[in-house]
Amino acid sequence: MDIRKYNQQAWDNQVNSGKNPWTVPVTPEVIAKARKGEWSVVLTQNIFVPKEWFPPMQGLKILGLASGGGQQGPVFAAAGAEVTVFDNSPAQLARDREVAERDGLNIRTVEGDMRDLSMFEDESFDMVFHPVSNLFIHEIRPVWKEAYRVLKHGGTMLAGFMNPLFYLFDWDDMENGNLNVQNKIPFSDIETYGMERLQQEDRPAEFGHSLSDQLAGQMEAGFHLVGLYEDHHTDLKISEFAPTYIATRAIKP
């Protein structure tokens, strides 16, 4: 099946439902503070990215990779960066344009597959900001290679992704507070639960990638990993035992 096409429609539906917090744009108050230099963003769910992970924001050319939703991109633009938001979901990109029009921001939006950034020339950006989103594609090493290509030498990639142990447990049991190991890593929503269930629940298909693909994949693309932290889900029992998110800082030498 065309995973990209299915998840594109699924994410558009998430936007239209108004129930997914990752589709809710930032407020005018957040933008006003960012213009004064008071801003923070997340790569995962709860922990703000350390400010020292960012170069000076003024004039910084940032690619928000698979980061539509009107959240991080507008904050960066208000803080003085030149922002391009790239996403698979037209509805998510529309959120960024809504904020840009509302608050007078200059944001470029581009629709596409995170594995294919061929519309951008080599070394086009100073920073790639890639919040938790590669769980919605079945292969991620091409994502790291393309991010490396479009980043300038000396540039930074900040990425958030799922700890693969999150996908070991049966979804229904986990939502009921029980942790029963059932699945293998790499994990595929489609192979484990089937397309019929995904369509009934009207949710995107997810994929749990190995740490080899997540971490070694970045290094094999050419990145130097220079920072890492972990984060937890807010409302799932698994977070009582282990972190469920990982964030990394990588440099293109």
Q: Tokens for 98?
A: 């809504």
Taking the C-alpha atoms of residue 61 and residue 38, their distance in angstroms, rounded to an integer, is: 19
What does the pLDDT read at residue 29?
98
Tell me yes or no: is domain 3-251 CATH 1.10.540.10: no
Q: Could you tell me which of 47, 246, 223, 71 has the C-alpha nearest to residue 143?
A: 223
- Residue 69 to residues 11, 93, 94, 100, 169: CA-CA distances in angstroms? 10, 6, 8, 12, 28
What does the pLDDT read at residue 171?
86
In the chain, the amino acid numbered 81 is A
Positions of E strands within 36-150: 61-65, 82-87, 107-111, 125-130
Q: Could you tell me which of 198, 138, 134 has the C-alpha nearest to residue 171?
A: 198
What does the pLDDT read at residue 235?
85
Say which residues have a Cβ less than 8 Å from residue 61's Cβ, sequence separation at least 6.
Answer: 81, 82, 84, 124, 125, 126, 127
Q: How many whole angstroms from its chain centre is CA 18?
A: 19
In the chain, the amino acid numbered 78 is A
What does the pLDDT read at residue 163?
97
What does the pLDDT read at residue 175?
85
What does the pLDDT read at residue 191?
94
Q: Tokens for 228?
A: 């890492």
Does the CA dihedral 177-183-184-185 come out positive or negative?
A: negative
Pairing relation of β-strands 125-130 and 61-65? parallel
Residues of the chain with pLDDT under 50: none
